[in-house]
């Protein structure tokens, strides 16, 4: 008669009420728990059954506890307590309600470049701190990167079970990590250094951007074969990413560890952009730059003002995204939007004078919806109620991709249009329109030669949908452009400003009937002369009135006094 297996001992953790199981690992289960003193306060408890521990896993557990006690960083899961009884070892950690990055990616299939950059900046900030503490993780993967909340998620590195203290000059030979994310030298050379973490970061970034890891395979044998094959990872060329992003990916995913990017270069890379990460020091820098910008703006030193506004926004936008309080984040978003509007007005004024200034790109401003760790609603609107994609549309796109798998030109164009959807969701409308126009140009060319059949019907359907979206975006951008022109004209000469002519060019003109748009160049010499000769105080107040009063920034950005909606509309309708 077969013996009965011993039942699993019950969990008993003093001062905590054990809730649902939320995860399982190699030698432990993780539970959501509540403090008995305050049942609103949640924690995560990792319960390790002592009878299942080998000597190696015991060493890993001891290392994990020791390192978690040592590390204290905003983007690393915090250890709150640990204890043990005759059956279990308990590790009590902060609870991350947003799940893990792997689930976040799967819900969205892939992330926009701007969302990837924000997450990467957080991850790099934690890695920089870990390097200062000589800690290497050795098991970085989306499943071990948690999201602190469901709204406006913040990344937290967790699971330090394979981590160890290791300087950049030291080497290890023990095989550790998850094959899909581990650097090739761990398997091939049996000797490696701390830079294997940078390979893992590259794989994670690749998966965020393209929806799957570069060595994704259906079997372990296939995966090992791909790792052993001495062939550099190719970054997809049918999707549009910035040169900075592509450069970082290529350098992180260099198979030769000697040629792979080093930690110092990684932390200083322009795509990582740790210089502008959210922190109190950078808020002070932004405040100082804004004060200087407004001062120059009031003196009509537009070139200096534009440069300073742009520099301040490089600090302000990440700060806005990092703010956890929804009301404060909304307040910051309004302020940032107003300063962005002011930069557009100044660009217009300077352009009228024949001045074009090369400025760094300001980070994209995403909607709060984009920052949610909840499953994104197919019909959820973006900031200006544009995202009207139906479930049927998404199904049609996926079916078309399947049918077009042998037509690289078509799949590439579809991927470009899908990236346009991502930027539209983030309210980055200029970039979204650029992607849609590029994709539609390619797809319409293909449509003219496509034979009748299911693939042609699907192609026509998605083209119509993307053209509709692009037309709506163009309407938004045209409206914003007219508002900027009105404000610029008001600042130049309020009494002489005119309503700009309506732009009759549409995407239907460009891609449908091919009707050429009619436009005429307007001479601006007389206006520029009036601008140069007018009194310095004639209309400065009407321009500056669109700005958030700088005095409100003296204590904090959150307490900034904002223009009312009516005030802003009045400024935008100046004749």
Which 8-state DSSP code applies to residue 336? Answer: H
Are 506 and 467 in contact by the 8 Å Cβ rule? The answer is no
| Cβ pair 171, 144 in contact under 8 A | no
Cβ-contact 121, 273 below 8 angstroms: yes
139 belongs to the catalytic site: yes
CA-CA-CA-CA torsion sign (10, 11, 16, 21): negative
**Alpha-carbon distance values, 181 to 136, 139, 224 (Å):** 15, 8, 12
Alpha-carbon distances of 495 from 36, 129, 297, rounded to whole Å: 70, 57, 21
**Structure tokens, 54:** 């080998």
46 labeled part of a ligand binding site: yes
Contact 266, 272 (CB under 8 A): yes
CA distance linking residue 18 with residue 271, whole number of Å: 42
Asked if 308 and 293 count as a contact pair (C-beta separation under 8 A), the reply is yes
Quote the CA–CA distance of 380 and 301 in Å, as a whole number: 42
Distance in angstroms (rounded) separating the CA atoms of residues 199 and 71 = 22
- Asked if 528 and 516 touch (Cβ cutoff 8 Å), the reply is no
The helix or strand, by DSSP H or E, that contains position 45, with its residue range, turns out to be strand 42-49
Q: Which residue has the tokens 């953790």?
A: 13
Contact by Cβ (8 Å): 47, 19? no
Given 85, 100, 139, 284, the catalytic residue: 139
Q: Which residues are catalytic?
A: 139
Binding-site entries for ATP = 46
């Amino acid at each position: 008669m077969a013996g009965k297996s011993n039942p699993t001992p019950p969990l008993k953790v003093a001062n905590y009420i054990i809730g649902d199981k939320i995860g399982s690992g190699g030698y432990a289960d993780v539970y959501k728990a509540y403090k008995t003193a305050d049942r609103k306060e949640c924690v995560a408890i990792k319960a390790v059954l002592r009878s299942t521990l080998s000597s190696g896993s015991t060493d890993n557990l001891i290392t994990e506890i020791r390192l978690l006690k040592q590390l204290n960083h905003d983007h690393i899961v915090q250890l709150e307590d640990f204890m043990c009884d005759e059956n279990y070892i308990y590790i009590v950690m902060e609870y991350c309600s947003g799940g893990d990055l792997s689930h976040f990616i799967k819900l969205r299939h892939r992330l926009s470049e701007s969302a990837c950059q924000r997450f990467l900046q957080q991850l790099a900030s934690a890695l920089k701190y870990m390097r200062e503490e000589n800690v290497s993780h050795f098991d970085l993967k989306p499943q071990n990167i948690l999201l602190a909340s469901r709204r406006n998620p913040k990344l937290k590195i967790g699971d330090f079970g394979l981590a160890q203290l290791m300087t950049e000059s030291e080497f290890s030979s023990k095989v550790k990590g998850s094959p899909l994310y581990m650097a090739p030298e761990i398997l091939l050379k049996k000797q490696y250094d701390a830079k294997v973490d940078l390979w893992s970061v590259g794989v994670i970034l690749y998966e965020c951007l393209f929806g799957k890891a570069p060595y994704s395979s259906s079997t372990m044998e296939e995966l090992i074969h791909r790792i052993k094959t001495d062939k550099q990872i190719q970054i997809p060329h049918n999707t549009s990413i910035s040169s900075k992003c592509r450069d970082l990916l290529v350098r992180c995913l260099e198979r030769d560890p000697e040629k792979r990017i080093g930690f110092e270069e990684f932390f200083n890379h322009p795509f990582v952009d740790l210089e502008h990460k959210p922190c109190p020091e950078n808020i002070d820098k932004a405040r100082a730059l804004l004060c200087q910008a407004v001062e120059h703006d009031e003196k009509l030193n537009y070139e200096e003002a534009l440069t300073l506004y742009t520099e301040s926004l490089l600090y302000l936008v990440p700060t806005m995204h990092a703010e956890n309080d929804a009301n404060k984040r909304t307040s910051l978003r309004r302020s940032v939007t107003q300063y962005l509007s002011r930069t557009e007005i100044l660009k217009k004024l300077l352009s009228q004078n024949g001045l074009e200034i090369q400025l760094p790109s300001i980070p994209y401003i995403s909607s709060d919806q984009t920052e949610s760790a909840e499953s994104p609603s197919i019909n959820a609107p973006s900031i200006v109620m544009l995202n009207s994609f139906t479930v049927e549309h998404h199904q049609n796109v996926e079916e078309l991709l399947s049918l077009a798998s042998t037509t690289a030109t078509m799949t590439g164009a579809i991927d470009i249009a899908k990236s346009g959807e991502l930027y539209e969701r983030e309210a980055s409308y200029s970039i979204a329109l650029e992607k849609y126009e590029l994709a539609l140009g390619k797809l319409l060319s293909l449509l003219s030669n496509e034979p009748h059949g299911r693939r042609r019907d699907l192609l026509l359907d998605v083209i119509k949908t993307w053209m509709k979206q692009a037309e709506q975006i163009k309407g938004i951008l045209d409206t914003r452009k007219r508002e900027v022109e009105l404000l610029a004209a008001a600042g130049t000469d309020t009494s002489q400003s005119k309503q700009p002519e309506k732009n009759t060019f549409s995407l239907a003109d460009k891609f449908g009937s091919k009707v050429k748009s009619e436009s005429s160049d307007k001479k601006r010499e007389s206006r520029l002369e009036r601008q140069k000769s007018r009194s310095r105080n004639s209309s400065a107040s009407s321009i500056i009135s669109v700005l958030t009063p700088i005095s409100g920034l003296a204590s904090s950005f959150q307490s900034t006094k904002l223009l009312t909606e009516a005030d802003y509309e009045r400024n935008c309708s100046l004749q």
